[in-house]
Structure 1
Amino acid sequence: MSWYYTPKPTVVPAEGFDASADANALRAAMKGFGTDEQAIIDILCARSNGQRMQILETYSSELGRDLIEDLKSELGGKFEDVIVALMMPPEKYLCKQLHKAMDGMGTNEDALIEILAPQTNEEVKKIVDCYEDMYNRPLAEHLCSETDGSFRRLLTMIIVGARDPQGTVDADLAVEQANQLYNAGEAKLGTDEEVFYKILAHASFDQLEIVFDEYKKLSGRTKC
Structure 2
Amino acid sequence: MNNNPSIRPIPSFNANTDAETLRKAMKGFGCNNDKVVAVLCQRSNWQRQEIAKTFKTMYGKDLINDLKSELHGDFEDLILALLEPPARFDAYALHKAMAGLGTKEHVLIEVMTTRTNAQIHELKATYQQMYHRSLEQDLIGETSGHFKRLLVSLCAGGRDESNHVDPLKANHDARNLYRAGEQRLGTDESCFNAILASQNFAQLRLVFEEYQKITKHSIEKAVESEFSGDIRDGLMAVVKCIRSRPSYLAELLQNSMKGMGTRDTDLIRLVVTRAEIDLRDIREAYQRMYKTSLENTIKGDCSGAYKDGLIALVKGNY
Aligning the two structures, in what range does the TM-score lie when normalised by the shorter sequence? 0.7 to 0.9
Q: What SS does structure 2 have at the residue aligned with 1:96?
A: helix
- The equivalent of 2:35 in structure 1 is 39
CA pair 169-38 structure 1, distance change in 2 beyond 3 A: farther
Q: Which amino acid aligns with 2:2?
A: T
Structure 1 spans left out of the alignment, 5+ residues: none
- The equivalent of 2:218 in structure 1 is 221
Q: 2:116 aligns with which of 113, 116, 120?
A: 120
Q: Which amino acid aligns with 1:220?
A: H
Q: What SS does structure 1 have at the residue aligned with 2:164?
A: strand
Cα distance in 1, alignment partners of residues 191 and 31 from structure 2: 55
Q: Deviations over 1:150-209 (max 9, x none)?
A: 111111111122211x33231624454444333422343322212211122112345445
- The equivalent of 2:137 in structure 1 is 141
Q: What SS does structure 1 have at the residue aligned with 2:8?
A: coil
1:191 aligns with 2:187: yes
CA shift for structure 1 position 220: 3.0
Cα distance in 2, alignment partners of residues 167 and 118 from structure 1: 16
- The equivalent of 2:92 in structure 1 is 96
- The equivalent of 1:67 in structure 2 is 63
Cα distance in 1, alignment partners of residues 29 and 14 from structure 2: 26
Whose helix proportion is higher, 1 or 2?
2
Q: 1:6 aligns with which of 2, 6, 20?
A: 2
Cα distance in 1, alignment partners of residues 8 and 217 from structure 2: 37
- The equivalent of 2:79 in structure 1 is 83
So what's the TM-score if we normalise by structure 2? 0.63
Q: Which amino acid aligns with 1:33?
A: F
CA contact (8 A) 1:6 1:167 kept: no
Cα distance in 1, alignment partners of residues 118 and 4 from structure 2: 17
Structure 2 spans left out of the alignment, 5+ residues: 224-318
CA shift for structure 1 position 6: 2.7
CA shift for structure 1 position 210: 4.8
CA pair 97-63 structure 1, distance change in 2 beyond 3 A: same
CA contact (8 A) 2:208 2:218 kept: no
So what's the TM-score if we normalise by structure 1? 0.87
Q: Which amino acid aligns with 1:103?
A: A
Q: Which amino acid aligns with 1:167?
A: S
Q: Which amino acid aligns with 2:177?
A: L
User: How many residues end up aligned between the 2 structures?
Assistant: 219
CA pair 126-24 structure 1, distance change in 2 beyond 3 A: same
Cα distance in 1, alignment partners of residues 121 and 153 from structure 2: 13
CA pair 160-115 structure 1, distance change in 2 beyond 3 A: same
CA contact (8 A) 1:49 1:86 kept: yes
